Amino acid sequence: HGNGHGGRGSLRFTPVAPNTDDKLTVPAGYASVAVVRWGDPVLPGAPEFDFENQTADAQAAQFGYNCDFVTFFPMGHNRGLLWVNHEYSDETLMFRGYKDGTSATEEQIKIGMAAHGGSVVEIQRVGDTGEWRLVTRGRRRYNRRITVHTPMRFTGPAAGSDLLKTAADPSGTKPVGMLNNCAGGTTPWGTVLTAEENFNQYFVNGNGVPEAQKPYLSRYGVSPTTGIPSGSRRFDRVEERFDLAKHPNEINRTGWIVEIDPFDPDSTPIKRTALGRFAHEGATTSLAADGRVVAYMGDDSRFEYVYKFVSRKRYIPGFDRHNRTLLDDGTLYVAKFTGDSPAAEIDGSGKLPADGGFDGSGEWIPLVTGNVSHVPGMTAAEVLVYTRVAADKVGATKMDRPEDVERNPVTGGVYVALTNNSNRTPAQADEANPRASNKHGHVLEIAERRNDAGATTFAWSLPLVCGDPKDPATYFAGFDKTKVSPISCPDNVAFDADGNLWISTDGNQLGANDGLFVMPVRGSERGHLRQFLSVPVGAETCGPLISKDQRSVFVAVQHPGETDDASPETPSSHWPDGGTAQPRPSVAVVWHTGGKKIGS
Ligand code: FEO
Ligand code: CA
Ligand code: CA
Ligand code: CA
């Protein structure tokens, strides 16, 4: 026990108590530091960050805003590349006196555009510890910024379809830039998968599209009766393509999984149409028993679905040219969850049914295989571009905002973070989404048949129904609820090398800051959830990433200081620079100061 190889006792840190402190709080014996902050130079020659004198040119060469997904590619023991998503910009915190996109200066709009996308940065280990720092000198040949303006290409069955053609790209194969990249994953061949999520918010004049397109626009969260939505960033003021009345298909070119090779800064990012189009939270890969590549994905909106893609061909280690075609040809499935308890016992209260568990069976319903649609009345291209509409037609299960979906590399279990759903009514409660007005969310565990990621049927259960453990409508896999941490709004999931489940939160509804939690998923400690860190005021916790050597936890601190009425004149956070500094979204690293394994 406690020998660092999993099982009982391997997690022995003292949990962080819920708090509202404006700092990154870590357990006793641990330290943290911001590795890379909004505005830090990424490209050699980029200027130092200057909050009072921002320019779009500078931002396009500096670390972007609102870091989300984080992953790490080692280059030996002491160096590596960090990939980081920049989900969105918060102009009210970025600029003094900012009111809205209509009154913004064009330069401010362009800075916001350049603050989106992603970054590749080189980092180096400090001494022989778990601490890492940004490499700030020398060639940094892999450092890269991806923005709203980076040329990309479509591949897969929908590439070149009429639905993806625009005046600027009559081929329908050359989208420009990516938007609102939230979470993501990596592939077995060493590339990044980054997910375009709430792309709907960037487009104006939905009332101007052709009538036939309006139901689809509406299904994807854009009002077909509104011209300029309130809060719009007005990208259309500097680039006409964001005006739907002029370019109705441009929006179809966002909402995809984008593959990026961090080791080739000249490579063209690829939007993989075979993985469908929706508010992609992320995409994480695993291998089926026969070697096919599987990507698990959530669509993060209320009453949306859980998906997986299974490639037609197998992954062949080392055969790079072959492997890089795998995500273009396969089957896209959507999940249906069936409960095993009588419907009358699922009343929306969150009370456990008589059989003692929210659980049941499920199936993966195929939507499209290669160029062949399985949905009557829709072509393969239509299924891929309007995936939500296709999933509606086959009777998939409407979930409480599916965020990260990831397979445990040790046990093979698949975990789905369902962050919350304020709109579910008692009549809409089902065993997989058992609480009405679900404020705190839950976590769903899928056991694929024969523990094969390529299976088309599965068993499922809810190991975690979140909230204050004193609330009877919570569940921690049956573990003693007097010994667990409160948790609310699970968003990202990750695993350490022992198979412990790490969960970061976004939007804590229990009155404390968001945080990062860890929970064993097997053995007598299953359900023993503990808070490992909390983030500063107004922030959500993203990443997270536990390094393979288990000595470092990387966490993205997204939107510190994003609270009601906060502005540069009245900041609610000064993290990470402290004093009177403006808040800066940053990736931090946490390590044990005695060099011990994370969780010790
Ligand atoms: Fe961007 Fe679904 O969190
Ligand atoms: Ca049951
Ligand atoms: Ca997220
Ligand atoms: Ca979220």
Task: Please tell me whether residue 521 adopts helix, strand or coil conformation.
Answer: coil
352 Cα to the center of ligand 2, angstroms: 8
Residue 279 CA, closest ligand 1 atom number? 2
410 Cα to the center of ligand 4, angstroms: 26
Ligand closest to CA 492: 3
117 Cα to the center of ligand 1, angstroms: 14
Question: Residue 4 falls within a domain, yes or no?
Answer: no
32 Cα to the center of ligand 1, angstroms: 24
Cα dihedral 68, 74, 79, 83, rounded to 10, equals -20
Nearby residues for ligand 2 (ion, Cβ within 5 Å): 340-341, 353, 355, 357, 359
Residue 506 CA, closest ligand 1 atom number? 3
Q: What is the pTM of this model?
A: 0.98
Ligand closest to CA 431: 2
Ligand 1, atom 1: nearest CA belongs to which residue?
A: 182
403 Cα to the center of ligand 1, angstroms: 6
Give the residue among 308, 304, 309 at the shortest CA–CA distance from 397. Answer: 304
Ligand closest to CA 345: 2
Question: Residue 140 falls within a domain, yes or no?
Answer: yes
Name the DSSP letter for residue 433.
B
Residue 281 CA, closest ligand 1 atom number? 2
**What are the residue ranges of helices labelled H in 461-552?**
none
Ligand closest to CA 542: 3
Question: Residue 519 falls within a domain, yes or no?
Answer: yes
Residue 401 CA, closest ligand 1 atom number? 2
pLDDT mean by block of 10 residues, the chain; 600 residues: 45 97 98 98 97 98 98 96 98 97 98 98 97 95 98 98 98 98 98 98 98 98 97 97 98 98 98 99 98 98 99 98 98 99 97 97 98 98 98 98 98 98 98 98 98 98 98 98 98 97 98 98 97 98 96 98 97 98 98 96
Residue 197 CA, closest ligand 1 atom number? 1
Ligand closest to CA 358: 2
Question: Residue 244 falls within a domain, yes or no?
Answer: no
**What local confidence, expressed as pLDDT, does residue 195 receive?**
99
CB 523 within 8 A of CB 34: no
Containing structural domain, residue 201: 30-167+179-225+280-592
Residues with CB under 6 A from ligand 1: 87, 182, 197, 281, 300, 403, 491
**What local confidence, expressed as pLDDT, does residue 491 receive?**
98
**What local confidence, expressed as pLDDT, does residue 1 receive?**
34
CB 590 within 8 A of CB 31: yes
Question: Residue 162 falls within a domain, yes or no?
Answer: yes
Give Cα separations from 84 to 55, 186, 554 (angstroms): 21, 12, 11
Question: Residue 246 falls within a domain, yes or no?
Answer: no
Residue 403 CA, closest ligand 1 atom number? 2
499 Cα to the center of ligand 3, angstroms: 21
**Close Cβ partners of 211 (under 8 Å, ≥ 6 residues apart):** none
109 Cα to the center of ligand 1, angstroms: 22
CB 552 within 8 A of CB 590: yes
Question: Residue 478 falls within a domain, yes or no?
Answer: yes
Token representation of residue 557: 């601190």
Tally of structural domains, the chain? 1
397 Cα to the center of ligand 3, angstroms: 21
Name the DSSP letter for residue 582.
P
Residue 180 CA, closest ligand 1 atom number? 1
Question: Residue 573 falls within a domain, yes or no?
Answer: yes
403 Cα to the center of ligand 4, angstroms: 7
